[in-house]
A and B are shown apart, each in its own frame.
Chain A
């Protein structure tokens, strides 16, 4: 009897201890989250402040009354929609290129047995380690000779070449989970490799293609150095160049600046709400499991 009660109390003690531990973790998380959210909050709140409130020390936490006109004024000098359109064109082109070619290459690296496959696969993986700056200059010269500098093409064409080693790797890993017997049955029935690829593999791989699409979107949308090298005409600027250009010119108008920054972040926020569950699940697959 006494022993039973003792055991029960120990268990209870353990439970409260566990709850205490979890609450400490929760508090730590909330602190971290605060540090992560604060810059965003500050961006949005600054974008709605009047010129006078900007320079208050200590700063005003809430912009009352909110100055929505800041956005209208910022848009007069910040051709947001033109930049947005160019970002959409570049990112859309990269998405098409990657989704058309990455699964093809992944199929060749997983579902067809051919001599030299492992060698080429290893070669491809090793390019993941290659710094962009190493190939940047000759690639620029090639595009210059082709007369494609100051167009969107240099930012799109490379993605038609398999869409990057990381994406190919990810799709290959997925393809490998589909049993070969499945394809052999189709081969016996006389299907060509292209038919098998198109009719069997692609429909089965929608989840991984979605993930690759999301990663490609982020990579292309956020790319800064590429557009900086290739684009000189401001009408062709994506957001990546447009926002820093605005920053250089109107850097002291902080409320306009933050209005422009907020506008630039909105597409990514929208994207995130659509994609977050796939991305957070999918990130584990990226390059870790072999």
Chain B
């Protein structure tokens, strides 16, 4: 018994750096932002209780709605593409080619290039008049769109540009595909299965845990997308606010207008949306995620 309580002390001592951080940088801020969300709070004066006022105003705030819809647009466009192309790249990157390590490096590299550098490149790359993309398109007789200047095209452009950073996802798929036991394929070949059948019936179910991991991480990241749309629009949100994302609008309310209460209400709603989506994904995953070896 004495040993046990001694261990409790030791254990808590070892995790104390995290525990302190957890209280100061996670629990306290969650509680505080919940309180702030019911107040009017300009950082220079103490918060004033206003009840549900912030939430009510959000409901009537056209820009809030716009930013939420833009973000959902981004999630719906970016996440499936990241998973499908990531999986496709994962399959390519396990092929027994001599120079495969080189390909892995080149696919991975852009994912660690900071978004702020890539944003600068993307603006130039997609310049409607002298950018490389439209020049290449014109070689094929296509007159390219206005990309970041046309409200209809801004979001597709950013989604396209964001796909440049999916190397990490591709490598996770690659590792998962490599881990599929070889015996499964060998017995399938004996049964005369085609490559495609093996992919559908063996590879996909076997890598479904990796798919779930990437789906959750990609969705959460996309929901908070900020850097690329913020920098390519100089923080303005682009033509017709077509690139104003949720976190961009939250940032603007909190740190440009200094409406900390209003921004906190947005933060809490984001918290709820993220939690809801995560739970939904996990709930639905029971139908398609397959854990090899467990049952």
Report if A59-B112 is in contact (Cβ < 8 Å); known contacts: A224-B227, A280-B171, A288-B175.
no
Q: Which of B17, B209, B216, B278 is within 8 Å of A160, CB to CB?
A: B17
Q: A134 touching B270 by the CB < 8 A rule?
A: yes
Taking each of A135, A193, A251, A287, which has the highest tally of chain B beta carbons within 10 Å of its own beta carbon? A135
CB distance from B194 to the nearest CB of A (A): 12
Q: Which of A29, A114, A260 is within 8 Å of B7, CB to CB?
A: A114
User: In this assembly, does B29 line the interface, its C-beta being within 8 Å of a C-beta of chain A?
Assistant: yes
User: In this assembly, does A71 line the interface, its C-beta being within 8 Å of a C-beta of chain B?
Assistant: no
User: In this assembly, does B20 line the interface, its C-beta being within 8 Å of a C-beta of chain A?
Assistant: yes
Q: Which residues of the other chain, A, contact B251 by a CB distance below 8 angstroms?
A: 133, 225, 228-229
Q: A258 touching B220 by the CB < 8 A rule?
A: no
Q: In the complex, how many residues of chain B place their beta carbon closer than 8 angstroms to a beta carbon of chain A?
A: 95
Q: A105 touching B15 by the CB < 8 A rule?
A: yes
Q: A22 touching B97 by the CB < 8 A rule?
A: yes
- The 0/1 profile, CB within 8 Å of A marked 1, for residues 124-140 of chain B is 11000110100100110
Q: A58 touching B138 by the CB < 8 A rule?
A: yes
Report if A243-B117 is in contact (Cβ < 8 Å); known contacts: A25-B92, A135-B33, A161-B17.
yes
Report if A101-B18 is in contact (Cβ < 8 Å); known contacts: A117-B11, A141-B43, A244-B116.
yes
Report if A286-B12 is in contact (Cβ < 8 Å); known contacts: A101-B18, A222-B114, A222-B115.
no
Q: Which residues of the other chain, B, contact A113 by a CB distance below 8 angstroms?
A: 7, 11
Q: A264 touching B164 by the CB < 8 A rule?
A: no
Q: B92 touching A135 by the CB < 8 A rule?
A: no
Q: Which of B10, B25, B93, B108 is within 8 Å of A158, CB to CB?
A: B25
Identify the stretch in A5-13, A119-127, A176-184, A203-211 within 8 Å (CB) of chain B at 4 or more residues.
A119-127
Q: Which residues of chain A have a CB within 8 Å of any CB of chain B? A: 22, 25-26, 28-29, 32-33, 36-40, 42-43, 46, 54-59, 101, 104-105, 107-109, 112-117, 120, 123-124, 127, 129-142, 144, 158, 160-162, 168, 193, 197, 218, 221-222, 224-225, 228-229, 239-241, 243-244, 247-248, 251, 254, 257-258, 260-261, 264-265, 268, 271-272, 276, 279-280, 283-284, 286-288
Q: Which 3 A-B pairs have the closest CB atoms?
A: A161-B21, A108-B14, A114-B11
Q: Which residues of chain B have a CB within 8 Å of any CB of chain A? A: 4, 7-8, 10-15, 17-22, 24-26, 28-30, 32-33, 36, 43, 89, 92-93, 95-97, 101, 103-110, 112-125, 129-130, 132, 135, 138-139, 164, 168, 171-172, 175-176, 209-210, 213, 216-217, 220, 223-224, 226-227, 230-231, 234, 247, 250-251, 254-255, 260, 263-264, 266-268, 270-271, 274-275, 278
Can you sample 7 A-B contacts with CB below 8 Å?
Answer: A29-B93, A29-B97, A37-B106, A39-B118, A108-B12, A160-B21, A222-B115
